[in-house]
Amino acid sequence: MSVNAEQQAFEPLIVVFGCNWCSYAGGDLAGTSRMTYPPNVRVIRVPCSSRVNPNFVLRAFQRGADGVVVAGCHPGDCHYVTGNYYARRRLSALRRFLEFIGVEPERFEVHWISGSEGAKFARVMEEVTEKIRALGPNRKMRDVR
Amino acid sequence: MAVINPLLPQVAKIVDIKQETPNIKTYRVVSPDGGKPFEHIPGQCAMISVPPVGEALFSITSSPTQQEYMEFSIVKTGSVTDFLHEIEPEFEIGIRGPYGNGFPIDMFKGKDILFIGGGIGLAPLRSLINYCLDTRDDFGKIDIVYGARTPDDMIQKEEIFKVWPKAPNTEVHLTVDNEWEGWEGRVGFVPQCVEEICFAPDNRIAVTCGPPIMIKFVLQGLEKLGFTPEQIITTLELRMKCGVGKCGRCNIGDKYVCKDGPVFTYAELLNLPPEY
Amino acid sequence: MKQLNDTIKQVAAQSLSRGDVDLVIGWQKGDLWWQSYPAFVENEQDTASLTWDPFCVANLSRYLLEEQEGKNKVAIFVKGCDALGLNQLLQDKRVDREKVYLYGIPCDGLVDHRKLEAEGFKWLSEVRKEGKELVLVGRNGEQKVNARDYMYDKCLTCRYPNPVAYDQMLGEAVEAQPEERFASVKELEEMSADERFTYWANQFSRCIRCFACRNVCPACSCRECIFDIPEPRWLGKAKELSEDQFYHIIRAYHVAGRCVDCGECTRVCPVDLPLQELNRKFIKDINELYGEYDAGVDPETEAPLVTYNTNDPAAFPES
Amino acid sequence: MKKISKDKLPQLWDRLAQQATLYLPVEEDGVVNFAPWKEGAAVNLDVINTVVPPKQMVLPQSENYLHFRVDGGKLDLEPVDVDGPYVIFGARPCDVAAIAIIDKLFLDEPCDTLYKERREKGTIISLGCNEPEETCFCTAFELEPAFSPDADVSAWDMGEYLLWKAQGEKGEALTKKMEDLLEDAGADAEKAVESLRNNVASKEAAATKEYGWNAQGVKDALEDKFDSEIWDKLYRRCLGCGVCTYICPTCHCFDVQDFSRGQEGLRFRCWDSCMFGDFTLMAHGENPRPTQKERVRQRFMHKLLYYPSNFDVYACVGCGRCVRKCPVSIDITQVIKEVGGVK
Calculate the CA B80 to chain-centre distance.
19
Q: Is B209 in the same domain as B125? A: yes
Of chain D, the percentage scoring pLDDT greater than 70 comes to 98
d(CA D189, CA D212): 32
Asked if residue A19 belongs to a domain, the reply is no
Which residues 44-73 of chain D have a CB within 8 Å of chain A? 64
d(CA D252, CA D272): 8
Q: pLDDT tens digits, residue range D36-54?
A: 999 989 999 999 999 999 9
| Subunits adjacent to chain A (3 or more Cβ pairs under 8 Å) | C, D
Which residues 86-145 of chain A have a CB within 8 Å of chain D? 145
Q: pLDDT tens digits, residue range A119-133?
A: 999 999 999 999 999
Q: Is B93 in the same domain as B133? A: no
Calculate the CA D331 to chain-centre distance.
18
CATH number at residue B115: 3.40.50.80
Predicted pLDDT of residue A1: 44
Asked if residue A114 belongs to a domain, the reply is yes
Q: Is B68 in the same domain as B49? A: yes
Letter string b/e over residues C185-202, b meaning 16 or more CB atoms within 10 A of that residue's CB: beebeeeebeebbebbbe
| Subunits adjacent to chain B (3 or more Cβ pairs under 8 Å) | D
Q: Is the pLDDT of residue D212 over 80?
A: no
Reduced to 3 states, what is the DSSP secondary structure of residue D4? strand
Of B170, B172, B149, B168, residue with least CA distance to B160: B172
CA end-to-end distance (rounded Å), chain A = 26
* Residue numbers in D near A145 (CB within 8 A): 64, 259, 261, 266
B159: number of Cβ within 10 Å = 18
Rounded to 10 deg, the angle between the C275-290 and A83-101 helix axes is 140
- CB-count exposure of residue C180 (10 Å: 0-12, 13-18, 19+): exposed
Q: How many CB pairs under 8 A join B and D?
A: 128
Under a CB-based contact definition with an 8 Å cutoff, are residues D197 and D128 in contact?
A: yes
**Average pLDDT for chain D:** 94
Judged by 3 or more CB pairs under 8 A, whether D touches C is yes
Predicted pLDDT of residue C1: 65
Predicted pLDDT of residue A44: 97
Which residues 323-342 of chain D have a CB within 8 Å of chain C? 323, 325, 327-331, 333-334
Tell me what the mean pLDDT of segment D203-219 comes to: 76
Q: pLDDT tens digits, residue range D104-138?
A: 999 999 999 999 999 999 999 999 999 999 999 99
Q: pLDDT tens digits, residue range C291-303?
A: 999 999 999 999 9
d(CA C67, CA A71): 45
Asked if residue A76 belongs to a domain, the reply is yes
In degrees and rounded to multiples of 5, residue D311 shows phi and psi of: -125, 15
Single residue among B99, B130, B163 that ends a domain in this structure: B99
**Strand duo C141-146 + B54-59: pairing:** unpaired
DSSP state of D258: E
Q: Is B93 in the same domain as B111? A: no
d(CA B212, CA B209): 9
pLDDT less than 70: residues of chain C: 1
Written as one letter, the residue type at D304 is L
**Cβ contact (<8 Å) for C308 and A104?**
no
How far apart are the CA of A71 and the nearest CA of chain D, in angstroms? 27
d(CA A10, CA B120): 56
Q: Is B195 in the same domain as B92? A: no
d(CA C263, CA C242): 25
Quote the domain boundaries for residue A74. 25-128
* Residue numbers in C near D242 (CB within 8 A): 208-212
Reduced to 3 states, what is the DSSP secondary structure of residue D305? helix
Q: Is B56 in the same domain as B172? A: no
Predicted pLDDT of residue C267: 97
Q: pLDDT tens digits, residue range D5-15?
A: 999 999 999 99
Predicted pLDDT of residue B1: 44
Of chain A, the percentage scoring pLDDT greater than 70 comes to 94
**Strand duo A108-112 + A67-72: pairing:** parallel
Asked if residue A7 belongs to a domain, the reply is no
Q: C-alpha distances in angstroms, D194 versus B210, D156, D189, D199?
A: 62, 11, 8, 9
How far apart are the CA of C164 and the nearest CA of chain A, in angstroms? 27
d(CA B91, CA D301): 43
The closest CB to that of C285, out of A62, A85, A93, belongs to A93
* Model confidence band, residue D209 (pLDDT cutoffs 50, 70, 90): low
Q: Is B172 in the same domain as B86? A: no
ipTM of the complex as predicted: 0.94
Q: How many CB pairs under 8 A join A and C?
A: 110
* Residue numbers in A near D64 (CB within 8 A): 145
Please compute Rg for chain B using Cα positions.
18
Asked if residue A54 belongs to a domain, the reply is yes
Under a CB-based contact definition with an 8 Å cutoff, are residues D324 and D135 in contact?
A: yes
* Model confidence band, residue D29 (pLDDT cutoffs 50, 70, 90): very high
pTM of the model: 0.95
Reduced to 3 states, what is the DSSP secondary structure of residue B223? helix
Q: Where are the alpha helices (DSSP H) in B142-211?
A: 157-158, 164-166, 190-197
Q: Where are the alpha helices (DSSP H) in chain D?
A: 9-19, 55-58, 93-106, 113-120, 168-177, 189-211, 218-222, 230-235, 243-246, 292-301, 307-311, 321-325, 332-338
d(CA B231, CA D295): 32
A20: number of Cβ within 10 Å = 16
How far apart are the CA of C239 and the nearest CA of chain A, in angstroms? 11
Q: What is the pLDDT along chain B (276 residues), one digit of tens a residue?
A: 456 889 999 999 999 999 999 999 999 999 998 899 999 999 999 999 999 999 999 999 999 999 999 999 999 999 999 999 999 999 999 999 999 999 999 999 999 999 999 999 999 999 999 999 999 999 999 999 999 999 999 999 999 999 999 999 999 999 999 999 999 999 999 999 999 999 999 999 999 999 989 999 999 999 999 999 999 999 998 999 999 999 999 999 999 999 999 999 999 999 999 988
Helix (H) or strand (E) holding B257: none
| Binding-site residues on chain A for chain C (CB distance < 8 A) | 54-55, 58-59, 62, 75-76, 82, 85-86, 88-104, 109-112, 140-145
* Model confidence band, residue D341 (pLDDT cutoffs 50, 70, 90): confident
Quote the domain boundaries for residue B26. 10-99
Total domain count, chain B: 2
Q: Is B137 in the same domain as B224? A: yes
In degrees and rounded to multiples of 5, residue D34 shows phi and psi of: -70, 130
Q: Is B49 in the same domain as B165? A: no
